[in-house]
Amino acid sequence: MEKKNFKIEEDCVGLRIDVFLAAQLKGCSRTSFKNLVADGSVLVNDKVVKPHYHLKLNDELEITFPSKRDTALAPENIPLEIIYEDEGVMVINKPAGLVVHPGAGNYESTLANALLYHTKELSDINPQRPGIVHRLDKETSGVMVVAKNNFTHLELVKQFKEHSTKRRYIALVKGVVEFKEGIIDLPISRHPTKRKNMAVSFSHGSRQAQTQYRVIKRFDKFTLLELIPQTGRTHQLRVHLSYLKHPILGDTKYGNKNDFPRLALHAKDLGFYHPEKKQFMEFSSPLPKEIKDAVGDVKV
């Protein structure tokens, strides 16, 4: 990997970071630098920033460029559990442990690699993320939709942005949740010191985040919850529940990885308006074995 460093002087103060990089480093597009920033490959004063970050005097930038050999995305014969497929979309049941798309330094064994092996008909708006419209965390399992052409990709992205999709998660959380149902309305931003983590924050730049929850069943030491995100912030469900002292079981970032065999979070249902069929479609995936074994025959 190649690294480059810059220190910001007065004539560059106020520029967006992706605009600055595109001007300084010829041969790569602004979009390429925007993706590098979003993937965490660009640090400002040793911290991850957003692609729209505006430079300040004496900011110190470190850019890590993956080698071309590392960035070549290749098809891989990774089994896929396909719930539904037509000419425009594919709906899959993602297993826990599978990374959705390549990131800095990781260009193998992702869902994107598996999709390339399964079909050549995938959207290519972002060549490093073919077909990927939205994502689930690596350790989260459940239902996802994939775009097989650019038209469906753009239309589905619009639905996720406008929150017109239907998403429903099931989670096991630590402790006994007191209230039967409610809405967690707490803003989220990047963690001030752990650059790969998010955190509830009321500082300038934090983004609104809302999670609707409902208790399905209380047990002695944990609670089975239904979670419906009203916004789509990174790690939103995990951060919100951890802040309320009810972290999701098995959460290696925001809880205790030793209290459950895996992250006890599952994307149970997904509904969206099919851009080509012109109808609303809903899909569901069964609870994974680890969660089902813990809760028994509870109806979810």
CB 88 within 8 A of CB 274: yes
The answer for residues whose C-beta is within 8 angstroms of residue 167's C-beta and 6 or more apart is 228, 229, 267, 269, 270, 271
Q: Which helix (H) or strand (E) holds 83?
A: strand 82-85
Instruction: Quote the tokens at residue 223.
Output: 């609670």
| Torsion-angle region of 119 (φ positive above 0: left; ψ -120 to 50: alpha; else: beta) | beta
User: Can you give 241-288 as a three-state secondary structure string?
Assistant: HHHCCCCECCCCCCCCHHHCCCCCEEEEEEEEEECCCCEEEEEECCCC
Active-site residue, 269 included = no
DSSP symbols for 104-162: TTB-SSBHHHHHHHH-S----SSTTSTTBSS---TT-EEEEEEESSHHHHHHHHHHHHH
The answer for residues whose C-beta is within 8 angstroms of residue 145's C-beta and 6 or more apart is 89, 90, 91, 133, 134, 156, 270, 272, 283
CB 250 within 8 A of CB 242: no
Instruction: Quote the tokens at residue 87.
Output: 């000419």
DSSP type of residue 165: S
Of 18, 39, 59, 137, catalytic: 137
Query: How many Å apart are CA 144 and CA 199, to the nearest integer?
Result: 25
Q: Which of 281, 249, 275, 284 is nearest to 87 (CA)?
A: 275
CB 75 within 8 A of CB 37: no
Chain position carrying tokens 């509870």:
298
Residues classed as catalytic = 137
